[in-house]
A and B are shown apart, each in its own frame.
Chain A
Amino acid sequence: MRGALFAFDDGLARLEDMFLIAAHAVIAVLVCLAVVLRYVFRSPFTWDQEFIVGLFTWMIFIGCSAAIRSKLHIRIESTGQLYARPRWTFMNGVGVAAGAVVIGVMVWAGLSNAIDTADTLTPMLNVPQALFDAALPISGMFLLVHMLRILLERGAAQVFRSSTEDVAEDVQ
C-alpha cells in the first residue's frame, strides 16, 4: 500500500513537472508572439489573453502542489524551530491535520464551484468556465497526495517545512 502510494506520488510529481515546464514555456512564447503580432504586424490574436490566463491559472495551482515537494512554501519559520522542541512536537501533527482539513474543504468547495460553472461559456474561446475553475480542486487533491507521502516518509514536522528552515538549521 505504502509502496503503491509512493509510486503514484512519483508519477504525479513527474507529470506536474512536465506540465509546469510546458505551461510556462507556452505562456512565455505566446505573450512574446502577441507582442510581435500586436505592435509589428498590427494583427493581434483575439483569443490569446483568455487562453494564456486559463493556462496560467493551471500553472499556479499545479505549481502550488508541486512546490510542497521542493519545500518552497512560505510560513512563519520560527514555528518550525519551536515545534522541534520535545514538549511541542505534537503541534506538527496538529498543523498538518488542520492543513489537510482546510485543503480538503477547499477541494470540495472548488468542485462545487466547477460544477456551478460547467454551463457558463468563456467569452472568446467559448469553452466551459469549469475547465479553468477545475484547476483548484484537482491540484488540491494532488497536494493532499504529496502531503500524505511526506508525512509517511519523513514525519509531520517535514510536511510544511520550508527550505529556508533547512538553511537556518544548517547555519545554526
Chain B
Amino acid sequence: MTLLLVLLTVLLLAGMPIFVAMIGASLAVILWEGIPLSVVAQRVTTGVQSFPLLAIPLFTLAGMLMNESGISERLFTFTRAFVGHIRGGMAQSAIVGNIFLSGISGSSVADCAATTRVFVPQLVRTGYGQGFAAALCASCATLGPIIPPSILMVIYAWQANISLGDLFWAGVIPGFVMALSMMIAVAIIAYRRQYPKDAAFSGSRLWVQFKRAFWALLMPVLILVGFRMGVFTATEIAAVAAAYSLIVGKFIYGTLKWSMLPRILLVTAKETAVILAIVGAAAPFSWILSIEQAPQLITAAIKDLTTSPWVLLLLLNGVLLVLGTFMETLGTMIILVPILIPVLNAFQIDLVHFGIVLLINLTIGQLTPPVGVLVFVAASISRTPMGRLLKELGPFLIALVAALIVLTFVPSLSLWLPRLLNH
C-alpha cells in the first residue's frame, strides 16, 4: 500500500494527468508483485464497462443542451423578479438563480461561467464592486454538485454502492442550506454597503417570468420524480432528460439549432471521457488497495485514534478541506472513497450523509487557490484581478464552512427527504 501511494504521489507531482498517474502506480506495484500486467488493462477496461455510468454523458449532454438554449438568462430574470426587491436583490437573485441552474446543468464550472457572464456586468453597472460580484458568482456555483442532478453524485453513488435516487434527494435540503448561508452573508454586506434594490415586488411580473422559465424549471422536477417512481434506472432518466432538453431547446424555446449538435456532442463526449478515464484508472488502484487490505489497516489505525463518529467526521472535514485546496475534486473523490467506505461502515456513518458532506468539502475546495477552478473561471470571464476577487471571498467561505458544519452534525438535514420518500 505504501509503495502504491508513494508512487501515485510522485507521479502526480511529476505533473501527469491523474488517470496516467493512477495507472502508472498500479502498473509498477503489479510488476513488483509479479502479477501479469494485462490484469491492469483488464481492470481499467471493465472498470468503465458499466451501464449505470452511462448516466454521466447523458446528464452532461442534458445540461449542455439546456445551457446552449440560453436558459440561464430566463432563470435569472425569473429569480430577479422573485427577490430583486430586497436590499442587494440582484446579488440575491444570482444565488437563487443558481439553485435552479444547478438543478439543470450538473456542472459547477458551467454554472459559474453562465452566472459570471450574466451577472458581473449588471452588478457592476448598478453599483456593486467588481471583486464582490466575481466572488459572488464563483461562490454561487458551489451549489452545482450538491443540487441534483450532479455528475459527482453519480460517481460517488456508483463507488459507494448506494442508491443514486437517495443521494439526489439528499442533496436538495443541503443545497438550500448552502444557498441560505450565502444569502445571509450577502444580506449583511448589502446592508452595510447600502447596495441597491429593484422596484417593488410585482406578482404579475413574477408570473410572466415564471412562464418564460417554466420548461427549464420543470427539468429537475422530472428527474427527481423519475427517481421517486423507482421504475426507471438513472441512465434511463438521464436519457429522458437529454431528450427533454433537446425538445425544449429546439421546439419550445427555438434557440437550439441542429448545426450546434455536433459541437455539443463532441464537447460532452470529451468531458465525460476525462472523468471516466479516472474512474477506469481507479479500478486496478482500488483492487490493489483491497488485496493489500488497506481499508482494514486504515480503519484499525483510525479506531486507535478515536471511536466517535462525530470526531471522525470532524477530522475528515479538516482533511478534505485541506486536500480540496490543492487537489482536483474528482481525483480526490475517486482516490479517497474506496479507502474511506470501510472506515465509514465501521463507524456506522450513513454513506448518503457522508456523500453530501464529502461533496460540500470538495466544492468549497474549488473556491480556494491554488486549484480554485471556480475562482479562476469567474476572474477570467469578468476580467477581475485575482487579488480583488480573493479579498471579497472571505464572507462566502465563512458562510459555506458554517453550512458545512451544520450539515455535517445534523445528518437529518440530508437524510430526512430520502427517508421520507422511501417509507
Contacts and interface: CB of A to CB of B under 8 A. Distances in A.
B15 A132 contact: no
Please report whether the interface of chain A is mostly helix, strand, loop or mixed according to DSSP: helix
Interface in B356-404: 370-371, 373, 376-377, 379-380, 385-386
A5 interface: no
Nearest to A73: B17
A77 B371 contact: yes
Interface string B325-354: 011101100000000000000000000000
A94 interface: yes
B274 A76 contact: no
Interface string A26-56: 0110011011000100000000010011101
Contact of A79 (B13, B243, B271, B386): B13
Contacts of A23: 269
Contacts, number: 214
B15 A171 contact: no
Interface stretch (B71-79, B123-131, B140-148, B228-236): B228-236
A152 interface: no
Contact of B274 (A56, A64, A78, A171): A64
Interface residues of A, number: 68
Contacts of A81: 370
Interface in A66-105: 66-67, 70, 72-81, 83, 91-92, 94-95, 98-99, 101-103, 105
Contacts of A99: 14, 16-17, 20, 24
Contacts of A105: 27, 37
A103 B18 CA distance: 13
Contacts of B410: none
A171 B380 contact: yes
Contacts of A60: 48, 272-273, 276-277, 280
A102 B20 contact: yes
A164 B17 CA distance: 13
B61 interface: yes
Contacts of A62: 273
5 contacts: A53-B49, A103-B20, A136-B45, A137-B41, A171-B379
Interface of B: 11-21, 23-24, 27, 36-38, 40-42, 44-45, 48-51, 53-54, 57-58, 61, 231-232, 235-236, 238-240, 242-243, 261-262, 265-266, 268-274, 276-278, 280, 326-328, 330-331, 370-371, 373, 376-377, 379-380, 385-386
Given A28-B239, A35-B239, A72-B271, 16 more contacts: A20-B269, A34-B236, A52-B51, A60-B48, A60-B277, A64-B273, A67-B273, A73-B19, A75-B15, A106-B41, A106-B44, A109-B41, A110-B38, A112-B37, A112-B38, A171-B376
